[in-house]
């Protein structure tokens, strides 16, 4: 998938076979949705080689979820790119991690951590029996952690330009570079939800944190170009641990 993926499972029974299942699933997602692979289904769609009636069920599902997200974000989540082809990557990663977490749960694991390119799903407790602790990096010095989040059954996603540059755009003004903010982290009920809304909120620029503020069940932490952080009103609950 062009990114580091880390899976940590607390427990011993069938761990190896479960991890193989999880990474096999991620490989499947990469083969189907990568816009960089000529053989992927999304590439064939963009090249006009597949009719809509020939789309796989997973493709139909993802494209439907992308349309839903576009509607829910007032058009700030849009998978159409400059040449009118589509790139659902802004939703697929979180969706895939969320589905991988379901594989772990189905195999009986209640305590785990999955991190794919900085988007994270946690469940239960870590190996020490404590709430999972996750760091938000300083976008200006990635060796430094500026905030620690304690999460148990949540998803955490960060959108930003400090690693990959200007790869996120405002669909309402595609020529406008997003420079006022550099990082926006969203905590939600699962990583799929957090990821899709983090992408859209970042595309909104400074007003993205206000969008997250109004989302029931979500909290956000934004860092602007000056290094100033703004958080939603309930974010502080994730900076404390009871275990």
Mean pLDDT of 147-153: 95
Confidence class for position 171, pLDDT limits 50, 70, 90: confident
Mean pLDDT of 13-37: 92
Model confidence pLDDT, tens digit, residues 199-237: 999 999 999 999 999 999 999 999 999 999 999 999 999
Instruction: Say what the pLDDT of residue 185 is.
Output: 97
CA–CA distances in Å: residue 147 to residues 64, 84, 130, 191, 222: 35, 38, 18, 19, 11
Contact present, 103 and 121 (Cβ < 8 Å): no
Confidence class for position 242, pLDDT limits 50, 70, 90: low
Q: b/e string for 89-98 if b means 16 or more Cβ within 10 A?
A: bbbbbbbbbb
**Which of these CATH numbers, 3.40.50.300, 2.30.130.10, 3.30.460.80, 3.10.520.10, describes 5-239?**
3.10.520.10
Asked whether the whole model's pTM tops 0.85, one would answer yes
Residue with tokens 């069940």: 217
Structural element, H or E, at residue 220? strand 219-224
Q: What is the dihedral of CA 154, 158, 159, 165, to 10 degrees?
A: -150
CA–CA distances in Å: residue 137 to residues 91, 132, 182: 22, 16, 11
Mean pLDDT of 20-32: 96
- Domain borders along the chain are 5-239
**Cα gap 29→167, rounded to integer Å:** 21
Residue 187 confidence (pLDDT) above 80: yes
Residue with tokens 């952690």: 145
Model confidence pLDDT, tens digit, residues 51-103: 999 999 999 999 999 999 999 999 999 999 867 799 999 999 999 999 999 99
């Amino acid at each position: 998938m062009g990114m580091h993926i880390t899976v940590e499972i607390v427990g011993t029974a069938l761990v190896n076979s479960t991890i193989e299942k999880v990474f096999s699933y991620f490989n499947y997602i990469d083969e189907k949705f990568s816009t960089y692979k000529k053989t992927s289904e999304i590439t064939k769609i963009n090249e006009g080689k597949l009719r809509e009636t020939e789309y796989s069920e997973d493709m139909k599902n993802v494209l439907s979820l992308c349309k839903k997200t576009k509607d829910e974000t007032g058009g700030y989540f849009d998978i159409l790119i400059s040449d009118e082809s589509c790139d659902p990557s802004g939703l697929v990663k979180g969706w895939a991690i969320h589905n991988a977490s379901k594989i772990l749960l189905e195999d009986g694991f209640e305590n785990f951590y999955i991190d794919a390119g900085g988007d994270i799903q946690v469940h239960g407790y870590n190996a020490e029996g404590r709430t999972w602790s996750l760091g938000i990096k300083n976008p200006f010095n990635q060796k430094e952690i500026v905030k620690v989040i304690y999460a148990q059954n949540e998803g955490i996603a960060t959108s930003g330009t400090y690693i990959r540059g200007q790869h996120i755009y405002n669909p309402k003004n595609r020529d406008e570079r997003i420079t006022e903010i550099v990082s926006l982290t969203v905590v939600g009920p699962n990583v799929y939800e957090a990821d899709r809304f983090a992408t859209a909120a970042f595309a909104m620029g400074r007003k993205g944190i206000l969008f997250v503020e109004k989302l029931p069940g979500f909290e956000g932490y934004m860092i602007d170009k000056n290094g100033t952080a703004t958080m939603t009103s309930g974010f502080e609950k994730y900076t404390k641990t009871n275990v």
